Copies of this chain bind each other. A is one copy, B any other.
Amino acid sequence: MRCVKVRAPATIANVVCGFDCIGFAVENPFDEISVELINEKTVRIEHIDNFNLPTEANKNVAGRALLAMLEKVSLKKGFKVTIKKGMKPGSGIGSSAASAIGSVFAANELLGKPFNSNDLIEFALEGEFLASGSKHADNLAPCLLGGFVLVRSVEPLDIVRLNSPKLFVTIIHPQIEIKTSEARSVLPERISLKDAVSAWANVGALVASLEKKDYELLARSLKDKIIEPVRKRFIPKFDEMKQASLMAGAIGGGIAGSGPSVFMLSKSEGIARKVEKAIAEVFASTGIDFKTYVSRLSSCGVVVEEFS
């Protein structure tokens, strides 16, 4: 039977001031996902990594997304999915989004592209819901489309592709676990109107900075008084890492998704490498294991690697 292999990239959601609505894709790390058509209306999952993710379709992020897709397909076929994760689940860099988007994107290719982008995101939202208990598309949309994306609304789905600057990102992934549900539980239910105004002014400025390629404005807009203060407690040395990154020349950055990863944007690979060194030096003092990445921003999101 036919098989499609895709590469689904990591994504950084929230982007400091754009909680639950802005995200961007990176080139590295990424998951490799192969989907094969099978003659049975079901979803079979195989992992070729060491993360021990569930293989029962209904309990698996990719499985849930593909089951949602299968409901809309009249033909009596199913999918066999083979997932090789390049990023650890629970890292905050869109691991579940990569699994869900990679799978539905590959399956859609196999079926001759009957579904559009919004359809694919809708299917993948079922996977995100399984992973985090909330339907948010700020990892899914950039994973699918690449670059910077704004999710204006999830119900109904309204996705806005933003101008994507040629920037580099440094990511540090401390090897600690923060459950998305735990990271959500510390969020305030209500916030002051004053802080909200400051937040939406920053979101507006962030979008303007991307469209205008104004990186000084980008730096000024990467501020958050609402989410970062309550979530940074989960990340050892967060303030020190941020400070060291800015000293090393980063434009700005903060918590990736709900953490524990931290991202920093830079204008060149050279600066991003300096930021990596600075951040690693600070974090090493904790004695906790960590992993770092330096990557370009991805301009295209998920891509087909092989079609056989």
Which residues of A does B touch, CB under 8 Å? 17-22, 150-153, 158, 160, 162-163, 187-193, 196-208, 211-212, 217, 220-221, 226
Contact = CB atoms under 8 A, between A and B. Distances in A.
A150 B199 contact: no
Contacts of A205: 150, 152, 158, 160
A57 to B, nearest CB: 31
Given A187-B193, A192-B189, A196-B196, A204 B201 contact: no
A258 to B, nearest CB: 14
Given A18-B204, A187-B193, A205-B152, A220 B162 contact: no
14 contacts: A19-B200, A21-B197, A150-B208, A152-B221, A190-B190, A191-B193, A196-B199, A196-B200, A196-B226, A200-B203, A204-B204, A207-B207, A207-B211, A211-B211
A160 B202 CA distance: 11
Interface core residue of A158, A204, A220 (most chain B CB under 10 Å): A204
A27 B163 CA distance: 30
Contacts of A20: 197, 201
Contact of A152 (B153, B191, B201): B201
Contacts of A193: 187-191, 226
A21 B152 contact: no
A43 B48 CA distance: 79
A19 B197 CA distance: 7
A21 B201 contact: yes
Contact of A201 (B153, B220, B221): B153
A-B pairs with lowest CB-CB distance, top 6: A211-B211, A200-B200, A21-B201, A200-B203, A152-B205, A207-B207
Nearest to A153: B201
Contacts of A207: 204, 207-208, 211
Contacts of A163: 211
A190 B193 CA distance: 5
Contacts of A212: 211
Nearest to A212: B211
